[in-house]
A and B are shown apart, each in its own frame.
Chain A
Amino acid sequence: MKLSVSQPQLAHGLGIVTRAVSPRSTLPVLNNILLATDEGRLRLSATNLELGITKWIGAQIQEEGSITIPARIFSDLIGALPGNTVDLTLNTRTQTLNIHCGTSNFDIKGIDAQEFPPMPVPDLQNGVELNISDFKEMIQQVSFAASTDEARPVLQGVMMEIGNNEITLAATDGFRISVKKTSLSTPVSAPVKVIIPARSLSELARIATNGDETISMVVPEGRGQAIFHLKDAELVSQLIDGKFPDYNAIIPRSFKTNTTITTVEFQKACRQAEIIARESNNVIRMHIQPQEQGPGIVEFSTQSEERGSGEVVLEANIDGPELLIAFNVSYLLNVLDVISTPNTILATNADNTPGLIRPVGDESYLHVIMPMHLG
């Protein structure tokens, strides 16, 4: 293998794929990055067997070949080189990669590329085309609600359902649920129903740049994997096996009190209250009070035995009876962060039943939070 690439491009590419390197793998080759010539480009791949990322960058290839190189050393080194052309030359006999850039010259020992787990090649014919910015928004609105509890792996994933020219993402950690639906521009051939690790999707959202236009997603039959193909990158994620909770059954259908609040005001009230609330289990109380005349008010209150207390009062459009309900303020902030409409609805029934939050005028997103019970 002998080729030349531009240092900034290589450093950028490494920044992307190293996210899939497992820091403490017992398989030495998994600490490495695969470098391979691939139809006029240099392919960089890394995998921790759960998540694999490939990035292609432009290269001038003089001699085909492949090698794996320790990720950490290689990316540190490339990052420290000047922004010129980097020449990479493999000594196949010693499996050593020579890195030459300007007046710098390094030799790094690698491991045979044969030992690197093969990355699946997607059959793009059967892919689902997803609009990048839409899909990134979906991920952002949903994946934070996934759980980190390793004892319940299913909840660490995001449920993806595609059918009827519509895609739905849903995630829940048992305390809250996020659901987002978007219609697809191109019809799908077969419905899809898979659970993708939330972490994989977050990585995908990070790699996908809006310039890439579309993502094609392929779920090869019986492989337990999903492959996301971008213009010059690819992400392979292991799917999570198991039964995702029937979230539709948990989401309440009707509500007694509908409270409409300006999103920004709602967010500000929570931010302020959070400063005290984080000292006492993140509890924020919302006292929703409709008024005889004019708009109603919502009183946000927080209290910490150690630090003090506080109230913020907001005007709101309230339809329904009065209610005092407590939430984890960080859950509220998480969802308000991903709502971009000017107004937000909080729909509630009682202080011990789930509350629903959704953007006003955008039916595609909803979020459900279970309240807290104060002793």
Chain B
Amino acid sequence: MPIKILPESVTNKIAAGEVVENPASVVKELMENAIDASARSIQIRVEGGGKDLIILSDDGIGIPIEEIALAITRFATSKIDSIEDLQRIHSLGFRGEALASIAAVSMLRIQTRSKDETEGSELICEHGKLKSISRKGFPQGSSFEVRDLFSNVPARLKFLKSERTERSRITDLVLYYALAYPHLRFILEMEGRVVLQTAGNGNQREILAAVYDVETARQMLEVNLEEQGYSIHGFCSPVGITRSNRRDIHFFINGRLVQDVSLASALVNSYHSYLMVGRYPIAIVFLKVPPADVDINIHPAKAEVRFADARAVSGKLARAVRLALLASSPAPTFNQTLWGSSNVETKEYEIFNPSQHDFPPSSETGSIEGITTPESNHVQAALGLDEHMPLLRVVGQVGATYIVAEGPDGLYLIDQHAAHERILYEQILDKRVQKKDMQLLLDPILFTPNARETVLLASVEDTLEEIGFQVDAFGPGTYSIRAVPAFMSRTFSLRIITDALHELDDEKSSAVSKEKEEVVIRSICKGAAIKGGTILSKEEQENLIRQLETCQNPRTCPHGRPTMIHLSVDILERQFGRKGSR
């Protein structure tokens, strides 16, 4: 079918929005186009994390010269004619939006020759302006060169993550697609180095080894279920391999990488009772469902779908996974590594690893001779020794920020914010608030995260729920918050959640990274803790100190900064010249 502009009656019904959010989304769109063009081999080159250059070449059907200008026109596609076509399409593209969106924010060059032509053509487009179309000789297929992405949209550029993060996003994406299309050859070259090359021989385990590691790939269980026009195929981990979050659970639905929280829950639930609380399996599952049973037109980047009968799909998935688990006859193995990575241990490590946190260098806090901050006790503290604090008598508040207290051995200055952070943090981890008291909201707060935030949110939904949030999906791209943890009803702000998500995003996003929950909880404690500059009544000050006394690590906040400074009787006497003169 030739490329033509869709009539407005059709475009009106297409979920429009931001298609190109980051370099990885460019790669995704170009890969999907190549797959639609029946390519056998896809070569991708990335430089500068994709910001500088992305080249994707395929050996697909190519684009005839008379249609090439239409390829970069918005809503021009060769893949559908009418909205009803969506019910039966098997192509990945249908909006005719991707190339137009990419062209608008980059320097784009397309070189292509269609299978019916003897001579190829080249199109050059700069920031959405068509510069030239010329005839040139090329082999059959297409090559898309995207330079200087977002150079004309500084705002977008600003929101890109570090090159490293963008690179790992691209690598993950290409890996997953390579796994989904094992009969195609993929070559990914990054900053001059080939990081992935697949044989295109249909062997998925070979590719799994690149996604995880050889040992994990070997152990992954195969999921297989064919039923009533549905096919569920893929891999899930045996019970011995777990993660502390759901980030390594992925789904392809009808050939598209899709985020689906309810499928992920169904999968996790199939492991019910096999895994310790807070541990999650890893999985990548490819579902094929009759096109009429799934709406792919709900998300601008096609990152989400809606099933006609979601329950049925979840049910089938759960069954497929359980079959795979049963076949492997699992016996729960609580091995050393599993226990070793439990919260308590890593918490200690992180708190006292100064290089990870921005707490002030000791020269700053320890500058007055004789004043001890917990930092000087790092090693001891890390070993869990002498961490408790003496009983304190509150004297008062200074600068609406610090609480002055007296102990048996001198004067204590307590940072109210840091102290409260510590209290909340331990309450959450201790599950002392696991009773999960929630303050319900009169009217749900609607929250529309962007695509990235949506992904992050999905990955920490369980954690949020554990803390006492009630967050539910509320239509495409929208979530509703119906309850907040009781301990933060006075301090709650939507910003606390978005901040937590962003903090999460800033963390290194490798597959086996540090614990997401911890990041989220720390961030939420920070947001919910009373701020410096808040005047506290004497009662509130006392209450804070009482609660701090019950903490396991009262001397540092969850980010590792000290909660208190101690001026010993000795130092007071010295400084006032009382000692020695007598």
Contacts and interface: CB of A to CB of B under 8 A. Distances in A.
Given A149-B493, A306-B550, A172 B442 contact: yes
14 contacts: A149-B493, A151-B493, A250-B442, A281-B487, A328-B439, A368-B442, A370-B441, A372-B438, A373-B483, A374-B436, A375-B434, A375-B437, A375-B438, A375-B468
A152 interface: yes
Contacts of B547: 279
Contact of A372 (B440, B442, B445, B494): B440
Ordered nearest first, which 10 A-B pairs have the shortest CB separation? A375-B436, A281-B486, A149-B493, A373-B438, A151-B495, A151-B493, A375-B435, A281-B437, A370-B440, A151-B494
Contacts of B495: 149-151
Nearest to B445: A174
Interface in B455-499: 468, 483, 486-487, 489-490, 492-495
A354 interface: yes
Most chain B CB inside 10 Å of its own CB: which residue of A172, A175, A279, A283: A175
Given A282-B486, A328-B486, 17 more contacts: A149-B492, A149-B495, A150-B493, A151-B494, A151-B495, A174-B441, A175-B439, A175-B441, A175-B442, A176-B442, A250-B442, A278-B543, A281-B433, A368-B442, A372-B437, A372-B438, A373-B438
B489 A175 contact: yes
A88 interface: no
B443 interface: yes
Nearest to B550: A306
Contacts of B489: 175, 328
Interface residues of B, number: 26
A305 B440 CA distance: 22
B553 to A, nearest CB: 18
A354 B440 CA distance: 9
B158 interface: no
A370 B442 contact: yes
A113 interface: no
Most chain A CB inside 10 Å of its own CB: which residue of B439, B487, B495: B439
B463 to A, nearest CB: 15
Query: Secondary structure of the A side of the interface?
Result: loop
B582 interface: no
Interface of B: 432-443, 445, 468, 483, 486-487, 489-490, 492-495, 543, 547, 550
B388 to A, nearest CB: 16
A328 B489 CA distance: 9
A283 B487 CA distance: 10
Interface in A247-293: 250, 278-283
Nearest to A330: B490
A44 interface: no
A231 B83 CA distance: 68
B439 A245 contact: no
A49 B60 CA distance: 63
B16 to A, nearest CB: 25
Contacts of A372: 437-440, 486
Contacts of A328: 439, 486, 489
A371 interface: yes
A282 to B, nearest CB: 7
Interface in A327-375: 328, 352, 354, 368, 370-375
Interface residues on A, range: 20 to 34
Contacts of A174: 441-443, 445, 492
A283 B438 CA distance: 10
Contacts of A371: 440
Nearest to A278: B543
A281 to B, nearest CB: 4
B50 to A, nearest CB: 32
A17 interface: no
Contacts of B445: 174
Contacts of A152: 493-494
Nearest to A282: B486
B439 A374 contact: no
B512 to A, nearest CB: 31
Interface in A25-74: none
Most chain B CB inside 10 Å of its own CB: which residue of A172, A283, A373: A373
Contact of B443 (A149, A250, A373): A250
A372 to B, nearest CB: 5
Contacts of B434: 375
A372 B436 CA distance: 10
Nearest to B481: A174
Given A149-B493, A282-B486, A328-B486, A305 B437 contact: no
A279 B539 CA distance: 12
Nearest to A375: B436
A177 interface: yes
A154 to B, nearest CB: 12
Most chain B CB inside 10 Å of its own CB: which residue of A151, A280, A281, A352: A281
Nearest to A275: B539
Contact of B440 (A149, A151, A280, A352): A352
A150 B491 CA distance: 10
B459 to A, nearest CB: 22
B442 A305 contact: no
Contacts of A250: 442-443
Nearest to A369: B442
B484 to A, nearest CB: 9
B38 to A, nearest CB: 49
Contacts of B492: 149, 174
A189 B71 CA distance: 61
Contacts of B494: 149, 151-152
A278 B441 CA distance: 20
B550 to A, nearest CB: 7
Contacts of A175: 439-442, 489
A136 to B, nearest CB: 24
Contacts of B550: 306
A242 to B, nearest CB: 14
Contacts of B436: 374-375
Contacts of A368: 442
A354 B482 CA distance: 13
